[in-house]
Amino acid sequence: MSRLGNRADWADDEEFDDPSALPAQEVITNKDGTKTVISYRFNDDNKKVKVTRRIKTTTVREHVNPQVAERRSWPKFGTPPGPTFDTTSVGENMVFRPSINWKAQAKEAEKDGGEKGSMKDQLKDKKVKCRICSGEHFTARCPFKDTMAPVEEASGGAGVDADDKEAGGLGAGKSSYVPPHMRNGGAAGGEKMGGRFEKDDLATLRVTNVSELAEEQELRDLFERFGRVTRVFLARDRETQRAKGFAFISYADRGDAAGACEKLDGFGYRHLILHVEFAKRST
């Protein structure tokens, strides 16, 4: 086909300035035997990209048996002939290091891996926790800094009071032994039969008219403003996992519970008015 046949019009000569045209590839032979190849292409954003590659060619000479060399030229046969990617692939790299006590080494490596994992897990859940309201901020930044004392101190103080009274009553005031059920101010409780579900009801609030969309963490955040919350139980439907409309909040200290009960009864939460009262012990 003639040049004229290709070009409809002489005006098409301007295609040299056409931005869509790419300059030709350049190959430069360097002094050290390498080659520099400069080529141009369009990237994904349709921008012109200059690609410079330095290529060093090395010839690897391998001496093989003439029979082996002859076999390399054999044509392929069978089904399917020729190279196929579905029959041959390269597996992941593995380290194989023979050693006399490989068993001990393997165990050690596994342990190291395990430890790393557990440390990671530990750090994953690490959060800044306020000592006053247990919120996710530093104690110094706590909004209740000026109005409330740190939780541990307050409850600890209460515990000492209780100990003084009751342990003294037992006539064992000088002993450092504190019966399990009186530790931590008696509220946290020692080990009891029934486990963690049987809690001291003295400092437990029963909250009703809770929104269906409520979350335990939200409730905890709400109630933690009044003292250390030891347990939040939000009743959920077994199937839908939605809140059933009532919850139990246990405080470490009954005084905090009383305060919360007073303040939050009638509190508007998620468009519903909370009804808060002390839980009655179920018999």
Partner 1 sequence: MRPILLSGHERSLNQIRYNKDGDLLFSVSKDKNVCAWWTANGERLGTYAGHQGAIWTVDVSPNTVILATGSADNTVRLWNIKTGDCIKVWEFPTAVKRVAFSPDGSKLLAVTEKRMGFLGSIAVLDIAYGDGEGNNLDVQAEEPSLRITCAESKATVAGWSYMAKYIIAAHEDGSVSQYDPKTGDQLENIQAHEFDHQINDIQFSADRTHFITASKDKTAKLISARNLAILKTYPADTPLNSASITNKKDYVILGGGQAAMDVTTTSARQGKFEARFYHKVFEDEIGRVRGHFGPLNTIDVHPAGTSYASGGEDGYVRIHHFDKPYFDFMYEVEREQLRK
The binding site for partner 1 (CB under 8 A) comprises 64-65, 67-68, 71-72, 74, 76-79, 81, 83-84, 86-100, 102-103, 106
Residues 236, 247 contacting (CB under 8 angstroms) = no
From its phi and psi, is residue 195 left (phi > 0), alpha (psi between -120 and 50) or beta? Answer: left
Q: CB of 62: closest distance to partner 1 in angstroms?
A: 10
List, edge to edge, every strand of the sheet that includes 243-251.
229-236, 243-251, 204-208, 275-278
Q: CB of 222: closest distance to partner 1 in angstroms?
A: 46
Which CB sits closer to partner 1, 75 or 268? 75
Which CB sits closer to partner 1, 21 or 68? 68
For Cα atoms 208, 219, 198, give the angle at the middle one, nearest 5 degrees. Answer: 70
CA–CA distance, 202 with 165 (Å, rounded to integer)? 18
Q: CB of 128: closest distance to partner 1 in angstroms?
A: 39
Q: CB of 90: closest distance to partner 1 in angstroms?
A: 5
User: Would the CA dihedral through 194, 200, 206, 207 be positive or negative?
Assistant: negative
In the 8-state DSSP scheme, what is residue 278? Answer: E
Residues 184, 252 contacting (CB under 8 angstroms) = yes
- Residues whose CB is less than 8 angstroms from the CB of residue 241 and which lie 6 or more positions away in sequence, other chains included: none
Which CB sits closer to partner 1, 17 or 86? 86
Which CB sits closer to partner 1, 79 or 283? 79
Helix (H, G, I), strand (E, B) or coil at 131: coil
- Residues whose CB is less than 8 angstroms from the CB of residue 74 and which lie 6 or more positions away in sequence, other chains included: none
Q: CB of 97: closest distance to partner 1 in angstroms?
A: 4
Q: CB of 114: closest distance to partner 1 in angstroms?
A: 14
Structure tokens at 93: 């790299």
Which CB sits closer to partner 1, 83 or 194? 83
Which CB sits closer to partner 1, 18 or 86? 86
